[in-house]
A and B are shown apart, each in its own frame.
Chain A
């Protein structure tokens, strides 16, 4: 864990200096939780919002100061803002060309779905069933790996309010029949959970 932390600190320093390998290390580490977080927020196009987030990060990277944990907090803050912007834009212009492009996309390869896709999506779908406050708090705490005070800062709430949201969210999840079933059957059960788009 300490070595991973060190690697990420070096990667961050490298990326800020324009090093591509450093940037890729950061991207590989943070892109998956970023996408999962955005899916929990029910972002219409998480890939697009994640790309916007990284674009802003890269453009402002030269002015960033701090360690990897600060960077993690920073990027999730940006992602949340971009997601809110995207939701507003989408409500103003429901049929944006960007949204339309996703409809055109091919289905993911069947073998990819079997190997790796649905279990994570299923887990994200479970989280997205929580109320918005609880889902955001749990996603930032668990998926993004941020501390409670950091989550509170991002959400603009008190530490206490975030703790309450976290515990209520986790309790709701623990009582969910799907989650209870996971105790007995791990991966197959997650694969059977409806994808996020079908959860409404």
Chain B
């Protein structure tokens, strides 16, 4: 990034120079916080391009896609228009009856009872199974009530417009080792039925940061999506959204950092050192030194981690001879509690 006013612009006021320097300064931690999500997005999408196919195939495929889209849209528009007209009962009687036969399961009414003798006759003659279509309609037992008014579903509801789809998120493991991958699964459903072919987006939120876009996927026939988020370094909340519905409830995946210890025995056995190293923990996180005494773990000391994620406890191997010690990294907003493997304090010589 440049740090001065562009050369072709007039010499600036000192304050303006300062402003431009700030505007062109290096990225802040906040601006660069989405690096993991960006990398995940790159991994997920860079190999999904159709670059390996020859250009002519791609053009042909695009042409086919466009044709299919237009064809599907046209058919949908025709069917939709026909269904809407049938709902409104504005079709001629034979067509209305045909529509009823095809679409009665979604609430299309038959021709009106008794209002049209021709229609009534055709209904009767059109019955192939010894019962009239009207008798199979839910309103058949309600004399004097028109089929249309007896339908509990509006045309928009019957065509799928009522009620937003809901998306839910689950994960196979709510707690994982820091730096490993989290798997988030989602399901999009409407009135209990899976919704396929919808682009669902994954959002991630770590402590102190904003919700960030972490990826997107299209629901399968079963209405499901699956995301793998690599290198999860901190506790993260995930949510899924679909274009029209509300976001899923947040799903938290906590991470457990690695904690390792090493013992450095000094001279005399009174001033020895237990070094604690962590990975994915942070400056200022609390670490306890614990010893296993009389059947339970007892806190001996507590330290805060230094900048390198390390700290060192002074202990006496002579006093703790034969006991077990361990380091416990206490939970923070960014990670869960992590415990080192117990270490046997060597018997003093």
Contacts and interface: CB of A to CB of B under 8 A. Distances in A.
Interface of A: 15, 18, 20, 23-24, 27-29, 31-33, 35-36, 47-48, 51-52, 54-55, 58-63, 97-98, 100-102, 104-109, 112, 115-117, 119-120, 122-124, 126-127, 141-143, 145, 148, 166-167, 170, 173-174, 178-183, 186, 190
A27 to B, nearest CB: 5
The CB with the most chain B CB atoms within 10 A, among A15, A20, A123, A148, is that of A123
What are the 6 tightest A-B residue pairs by CB atom distance, in nearest-first order?
A: A32-B27, A51-B213, A62-B51, A182-B15, A183-B14, A109-B208
12 contacts: A15-B42, A51-B34, A59-B48, A98-B201, A106-B205, A108-B210, A112-B208, A116-B30, A124-B23, A143-B23, A179-B13, A179-B18
The CB with the most chain A CB atoms within 10 A, among B19, B51, B203, is that of B19
B245 A97 contact: yes
B47 interface: yes
Contact of A55 (B15, B16, B45, B203): B45
Contacts of B10: 167, 170
B23 A108 contact: no
B43 interface: yes
Contacts of A18: 46-47
A24 B28 contact: no
Contacts of A107: 208
B28 A120 contact: yes
B35 A123 contact: no
Given A62-B49, A174-B15, A186-B18, A31 B38 contact: yes
A71 to B, nearest CB: 15
Interface string B242-257: 0001110000000000
Interface of B: 1-2, 5-6, 8-10, 12-16, 18-20, 22-32, 34-35, 37-39, 41-43, 45-49, 51, 201, 203, 205, 207-213, 216, 239, 241, 245-247
A20 to B, nearest CB: 6
A115 B29 contact: yes
A76 B16 CA distance: 24
A109 to B, nearest CB: 4
Main secondary structure of the interface of A (DSSP, over half): helix
Contact of A28 (B2, B25, B32, B245): B32
Contacts of A24: 35, 38-39
Given A32-B28, A51-B212, A101 B241 contact: yes
B38 A27 contact: yes
Contacts of A32: 1, 26-28, 31-32
Contacts of A101: 203, 211, 239, 241, 247
B332 to A, nearest CB: 12
Nearest to B18: A182
B103 to A, nearest CB: 31
Given A167-B9, A180-B15, A186-B18, A47 B34 contact: yes
Given A101-B241, A167-B9, A55 B22 contact: no
